[in-house]
Amino acid sequence: MHVIYGGTFDPVHHGHLRLAIELKERLDVPEISLVPCHIPPHRGSTDATSAQRLKLLKLAVAEEIGLVVDDRELTRKGASYTADTLRQLREQLGAQEPLVMVVGTDAFAGFDRWREWERIPQLAHVVVVKRPGPELDPQGVPARLLRDRRVSSADQLHRAPCGYILELNPPLLDISATGIRERIVSGRSPRYLLPDSVWREIRCLGLYGACPDGNF
Ligand code: ATP
């Protein structure tokens, strides 16, 4: 079973890495693929480039067996749509291999606005990770999709190539990339929120307003 977990990872932090390990164990797979996506152009100008985010992500997983980086969305031209990524993976994996995409409840709440969203369950299973925030609107399309396709265990995902939705409620660390960027730009330490190797590289590259000579 192939599992992808996407995000901007600007920068990657322990909240992401911890969730990836929880997913690996709960879904009983040897590996989770982290898939960094393009950042929409309206984000702040101090944010890292795609190449820099990718470099940080590679550093973060270097010490972690079972977490790998898949850079296909960054190397593809133009906007990256999940449906395109899943279609590409489906071609690679063949028709029978289970394929899973992971999303947070916040992102899943807007699932029916994603490009070609109706194709997605024909290509992959969806694992919805419960995040703090509002519940799904029970009348909305995502809630209906969940009711129609819900399964209660990871075993069921292993037994079919696509089409099911599994909700997970793992413990989550209260860390966000926004909070890390805010700390860095205001000269405060982000240590223990992200791997030291990543923080070292952020300083080295002077990202997010980090001072290269900062001694913390
Ligand atoms: P930002 O603060 O810039 O919006 P972020 O920290 O939320 O970033 P993203 O790269 O946008 O990180 O998130 C990638 C994925 O990881 C998303 O599915 C998001 O729901 C999830 N995620 C983000 N933070 C955490 C966390 N602390 N624990 C678990 N999952 C998280």
Ligand 1: which of 8, 32, 193 to mutate, most ligand atoms within 8 Å of CB?
Answer: 8
Average pLDDT over residues 33-61: 85
- What is the tally of structural domains in the chain? 1
Calculate the average pLDDT of the chain: 93
**Tell me: the pLDDT tens digits for 141-163?**
999 999 999 999 999 999 999 99
In a domain, 207, yes or no: no
Residue 60: domain span: 2-174
Least confident of 41-45, 100-104, 128-132, 136-140: 41-45
For ligand 1, whether the C-beta of 175 sits within 6 Å is: yes
- Cα–Cα distance between 214 and 85 in angstroms, integer? 39
In a domain, 165, yes or no: yes
CB 46 within 8 A of CB 185: yes
Share above pLDDT 90 across residues of the chain, in percent, rounded to a whole number? 86
**Which CATH number goes with the domain that contains 127?**
3.40.50.620
pLDDT value of position 199: 97
The string of DSSP codes covering the chain is: -EEEEEE--TT--HHHHHHHHHHHHHTT-S-EEEEE-PPPTTS-TTSPPHHHHHHHHHHHHTT-TTEEE--HHHHSSS---HHHHHHHHHHHH-SSS-EEEEEEHHHHTTGGGSTTGGGHHHH-EEEEEP-SSPPPPTTSHHHHHHHHHEES-HHHHHTSSS--EEEE--------HHHHHHHHHTT---BTTB-HHHHHHHHHHTGGG--TT---
**Tell me: the pLDDT tens digits for 173-210?**
999 999 999 999 999 999 999 999 999 999 999 999 99
Question: What predicted TM-score, i.e. pTM, was given to this entire model?
Answer: 0.94
For ligand 1, whether the C-beta of 168 sits within 6 Å is: no
pLDDT value of position 45: 54
In a domain, 156, yes or no: yes
For ligand 1, whether the C-beta of 173 sits within 6 Å is: yes
Atom of ligand 1 lying closest to residue 178 CA? 2
Task: Give Cα 29 distance to the centre of its chain.
Answer: 16
In a domain, 153, yes or no: yes
For ligand 1, whether the C-beta of 7 sits within 6 Å is: yes
In a domain, 196, yes or no: no
Least confident of 17-21, 42-46, 56-60: 42-46
Question: Where does the pLDDT of residue 80 fall: very low under 50, low under 70, confident under 90, or very high at 90 and above?
Answer: confident
